[in-house]
Amino acid sequence: MTPEERARQGTVYGFLAYLLWGAFPLYFAALRPAGPWEIVAHRIIWTLVLCGLVLVVRRDLRWLLELARTPRRLAGVAVAGVLIALNWGIYTYAVLSGHVTEAALGYFLNPLVTVALGVIILHERLRRTQWVAVGIGAAAAAYLTVDYGRPPYISLALAFSFASYSLLKNRLGVTLSALRSLAGESLTILPVAVLILLWLGQRGETTFLGHGTAHTLLLLSTGVATAVPLLLFAAAASRVPLSTIGLLQFLTPVLQLLTAVVLLGESVPTTRWVGFALVWVALLVLTVDMVGHVRRSRRGRQDLVDPTP
């Protein structure tokens, strides 16, 4: 396979991953009457079951012993599991409570929050245009706080939880494949999922059985719905440049926003569109800077390989 064919294949994988994530509002809405806690618990359990089956078939379980012998890495995987489960829970709550537009805003803000955390925690140095993008994003958050009459809690919680998850994964390094990572994270937080279901069961609030076969199968499918887009994303990330992934990632919140407004009937006041527009301007500045930086770096490497007089 040529590099061009590999890149095209990766772009298709990335598009499919972000398309599936963009359809999540409709999927989670279909899981009613299950609540967000129950849905998150089932996502953890059935994702682990699916990943476990694949790993058993592939006879790829020895890494679990190596992970258990490395307490620091195991702790990192466990914290990553807590962060991504928190992100899932907030997002599910947003969908079920009719706040999909606020959730979409969170994923628009995510790249800006990621850059900001890189400066604060990793002491990364930003280029001037990156500072401009972060500044516009901060102004947008302040504007939306005034417009909502409160901080956009759901948006900020989603952006910070996922940005923190990404930061932790960056610190852990490429120590586990996407499948192993998802299995490890699900395994470490499995006790939490079990406790949630036991607690809901005692309160008589579980819906897994007693609401029809279709509902049970939908909850069972949360493992597939969680794992498939992540594995498609991993396949894309290994085939296409980071700049392509950066551009594709905006597909998910755009689809979520359209779904909320067109299909789920959420209303967005004109003043709030102004806040969204400010975020989009910040993302445009960040994207232009990223693409330009990648091109300059590529030209620099080519000049080193084939210098011209």
Cα separation, 6 vs 29, in Å, equals: 36
Q: What are phi and psi of 304, to 5 degrees?
A: -70, -35
Cα separation, 161 vs 106, in Å, equals: 10
Q: Are 180 and 230 in contact (CB under 8 A)?
A: no
DSSP 8-state symbol, 266: -
Per-residue pLDDT tens digits for 60-84: 999 999 999 999 889 999 999 999 9
Residue type, 36: P
Total-model pTM: 0.86
**Tally of domains in the chain:** 1
Poorest-pLDDT segment among 25-29, 73-77, 186-190, 287-291? 287-291
Structure tokens at 292: 């330009």
Domain that holds residue 104: 3-305
Q: What is the mean pLDDT of the chain?
A: 87
pLDDT-above-70 percentage for the chain:
93
Per-residue pLDDT tens digits for 160-202: 998 898 888 777 766 778 888 889 999 999 999 999 999 999 9
Per-residue pLDDT tens digits for 204-229: 999 999 899 999 999 999 999 999 99
